Every structure is written in structure tokens, then in C-alpha cells.
Structure 1
């Protein structure tokens, strides 16, 4: 899930600061607030972003993966080229484990399952993406319903992206018929209006430290 497509528009940056979750000499793990790009956008007014803020204090910080502008949560930032290369290889090998928490509209029919639907660019509605069995790339998401609120008809769901396509979690939840609350790109206006922000948070990440070989894991609870 990247914010590259969203960077085409003017996206005002939140004043909420990022939080350092872990720090050593070669890498950082930070908690990105919602409504902040991970990297500078193409529009001149989208220069305020997570990496520019982090580099004010950690000048060598690099981006190895991204979260959408609207998504909050954990981001891993290498501080050296060696660690950047190693972490990149871990992502490519899909050995980095991540899961997200989302609040979606309605009750999922199954408590847990797998969405295996290819995703490609929606060329007629850029910068959106869609399920496409012709040009889409293989995309897999595991989901687990955590609870269902009968009074609001909303489900809290844990999402594990096995692949990392742009807007994958949004598109896959929409394909199930359960759009994420606050999603102004994919949800219907009434569902988008149910939250002032996208109810999607990168809650957990697990990876191997490139220098020590230790397996590190971090969790930041969703702010919703």
C-alpha cells in the first residue's frame, strides 16, 4: 500500500507529530499519524511528509515501505544503506509480517478468511484501483473479524496483507461488500461520512534486525 497515487492531489498535512516507537544506531520504527504522506508528493504543496519530518532529526533516514496518506501506524525507517538493502530484501521475500486494524461497514459473513483477488489501476478513475482479472496483479489479504457492534452495524477487523498492492486493503474490503469507514476514495458517501478519518491503522510489524539477527516485533494500538 503506497501513497504515490494520492500524491497527485493537494493533501494538507496534519500537525499531529509522529512518535518514535524504537530507535537504535541503524534503524527507526515510528508511528505515523493519519493524514500525512510518507514521502513528498508531486504537488509542490505536498512537501511536508513523514520522511522530511524524520530527516530533520535523523538526516540519514530512508524509506523502505509506505503507508497511505489516510492510514496511521507503524513505519520502519533504515538509517544506513546496508540496513536499507537488507530490509528491502526482507520485504521482497515477504518475511516481514504486518497486520492492520480496520473498522468496516456491516457484519462479515465469515469470522475469518482470505481475499485472493488481483488488483490493478482503474485507468478510467485514477488514482483509484480495482479488482481486475485481466491486468491486475496477484493480491492476497487474510482477515479476521475481531468483533461486531450490533448497535452501529460495524465490524472491527484484523487485516494481514500477504502482498503489498496500492490500496489493497481498501479494495479487498470493498470487494467483500464491507468498505472501511471514512474511506473517501472507495466507500459510498454515507459510509465515508461515518468517520472523520480512514479507520485503518498499521498496528503490528515483525522483522529480523539486519545486524543483530534478532527478531523484533512492535505493536501500537489503533487510535480508534
Structure 2
């Protein structure tokens, strides 16, 4: 008898909920509002431009609680919002003729042209506040699905939660914009049929292991490991010269390069997180150089890399090599000999291995910024070879390996160097 009463109460509760009017949904941000007056107040704050052509009589009706008038306004606002999104995309990515240009990418995907117009100018043209224009552009861009590239991926590991692939060189990890293809992410979309969760990235010219999450529940456990630096990442690199020690470490802070917006440089140890004077220094090619930038401007952070020499050929003459744009020969750099080194990252700074190798006088072969260029390889000789992490669901240690690409194998063969296995225990 009691169970019948409970069932009746549950049924009545469901009927009352079903009889309630659905929330009024904002056509811009998607927020649900319960009453017509509250909806009007929300629109005035969120997207007042959608109310510019609404008659005063309709506004008064909505303030009085007229739900039919509110729904009528929202129906018109949806059309206005969509037109505004199309217009802001046309203005942001217009071609020289002022129309939205569609250009064929090398991979055959359609992408918006990247002749971009500043958002402040667009806001002025459309008569919108900067914040509203920025949010409008963001939401318009999110409507474009990320394109899938048809090129196959080399899968190193895959289960229901993770996907590890071997990224080739000359390929960006992620697209410059969500509607632009030609990246590893776009190839993974083609492989999975949907966008993955990107865990980390590699430089365009660095090959090797890239890890993606396939399920939402795998994202945070893996991301925490990267943040806490418990993921062990090992790289293979071809560098100039023969290091004096088989195993060595570099613990020199890295920050922005004062002379190149995309480059990094090493700084004295005491500068990391502590510089506050108006005149600071960075070390480039063994020479201390003064700069007027602050430590905050230079974004100086601690950096730690361990190295292990695998094999060397001291007889290779590199004196005819073309120096990179930031390569500076010094007492540390001897343009003779080539070594294959294994590198373990304890921190994850931009260009960390490349900058630390240059700092100790052994810059990378093929590095157009910090190293030397020649016929041996057409990009920086750096490969993400090995990764160890804890699986996000079963907690087992997952070991990922990526074989050396053909260009690095050919370079090793040309230098007479053997790609032997390195000992992980030597890094402990």
C-alpha cells in the first residue's frame, strides 16, 4: 500500500515538472532563463545588440511577463545572432575584395583564408563592444568542425582511453586554427572519426611520440602526470662534437631570447624567478650579454635536462656547415665530431633540449636556430623516442617507443654512428 502511494507521488512530481515551461534560451551564450523579465535582463547584459530593433511595445510586454512575446523575440534573435556570426567571420578573415575567401589547402581541405583583421577594428565596424565582438567571434569559430586529414597515422599504442602516434617531421602538432587542417591533430581526427583530447605537443620539426586521450575520464589523470612531471620522456638527438662525459646534466634556466621572438636562451642560475632589476643578462655562445628587459618579460624558468652519449664519431669535419640564425661559435663549440645523445626532460620548457645543447657547446645538427645546417638532414635531428607513464585506468606502467625516422637513420649512417639502445637506469 505504501509503495503505491510513493509511486503515485513520483508520478505526480514528474507531471508537474513536465508541465513547467522550458527555460528561455539565450541565442548567444545558450544560458537558460526562467522568466521573460529575467530573459530580457540577461539579453541586455549578454548581447544588447540583439535588442536594437525590438519594438518598445514588445519590450514592455516581456517586462510584464508575456511569454509568447519573449519566445517571439528569441526566434528573431536566433536569426540575428547567426547573421552576426557570419558577418564577423567575413570581416575577420576577409580577402582583399572584402569577401570571405575559401582557399584550397595542400591536404585538399577547405579552410578560411588567414588574412586576418584586428578584432578591435571589427568591433568598431559592427558597432559592438570589444567584449561582445570577441565572444561573438569565438562562438562563430566554434561552429566550424575541425577538418579530418586523410593521411594515415602510425599508431604506437591504442586502447579505449589512449592513442599514441609517431608524429612525422615537418608537421605541426595542432592546427593554427580549428578550421585549418594539416596537423597531427587533424590526422588523428581522420583516424578516430572525432577530435581527440590533446595532451602535449612537439615542435613541428621534431618527430616521435605524441600522446592523445580518447576518453574524457583519461584526460585529467594523464594531465596531472604531465603537470607533476612524473611522465618520463626521452629523446634522441644528433649534436655537434663529442661531450667529455658520457652522462651529464644541464640545470640552466631558460627564458625568452631578447633578440628573437620565437627563440629561447639560457640565463644565469640566480635569474630564474628572481630577477627584478632593470638590467639583466643572458648567456649566448659563452658570452654574457646585457639587456634592459625584466625577468617577467623574459619569462625565465628553471630547466633541467639529463644527457647520455650513445655513440660518437670524432672525425667528422663540420667546418663547412652553415650556421643557424642564432648559432655563435665560441670556446665551447668545436665544429668537429658528431654524437648521438639520449636526452631526458625533467622540465618541459620550449626548445629546452635544443637550447641546453647549444649552451654546453653541442648544438643540434640541422637546427636552423641554434645549430648548423648541412646536407645530412633537412631539419633538427631530434626525435621523441621513449615515454613512460601510468595508464589512467588500470595504473599499469605504459611504455611507448617510436622508431627512428628514415632521415635520422640516414644521417647516422652517413656519420658512421650506430643507433644503439640507451640505458634508462643511467638517468636515475
| Number of the residue aligned with 1:216 | 398
Candidates 185, 192, 212, aligned match of 2:373: 192
Deviations 1:160-197 (A, max 9, x none): 0100000000000000111111101212xxx2224212
1:16 Cα offset (Å): 7.7
1:221 Cα offset (Å): 2.5
| Number of the residue aligned with 1:172 | 356
Is contact 1:17–1:33 with CA below 8 Å preserved after alignment? no
Structure 2 residues not aligned, in runs of 5+: 1-105, 108-149, 272-294, 317-336, 409-428
Is contact 1:18–1:33 with CA below 8 Å preserved after alignment? no
| Number of the residue aligned with 2:301 | 137
Is contact 2:163–2:214 with CA below 8 Å preserved after alignment? yes
Is contact 1:32–1:74 with CA below 8 Å preserved after alignment? yes
Aligned residue for 1:31, secondary structure, equals: strand
| Number of the residue aligned with 1:50 | 184
| Number of the residue aligned with 1:105 | 240
Structure 1-normalised TM-score? 0.87
| Number of the residue aligned with 1:5 | none
1:17 Cα offset (Å): 4.9
Which whole-Å CA distance do the structure 1 matches of 2:227 and 2:238 have between them? Answer: 28
Change (3 A) 1:121 1:16: farther
Aligned residue for 1:56, secondary structure, equals: helix
Choose between structure 1 and 2 for higher RCO, CA contacts under 8 A separated by at least 6 residues: 1
What is the RMSD computed on CA atoms of the aligned residues?
2.0
| Number of the residue aligned with 1:6 | none
Candidates 144, 154, 158, aligned match of 2:338: 154
Identify the structure with the greater strand proportion: 1
Which whole-Å CA distance do the structure 1 matches of 2:236 and 2:152 have between them? Answer: 21
Instruction: Say which one has the larger Rg.
Output: 2
1:151 Cα offset (Å): 3.2
Structure 1 residues not aligned, in runs of 5+: 1-11
Change (3 A) 1:47 1:121: farther
Which whole-Å CA distance do the structure 2 matches of 1:112 and 1:68 have between them? Answer: 25
Q: Does 1:119 align with 2:300?
A: no
Structure 2-normalised TM-score? 0.46
Count of aligned positions: 208
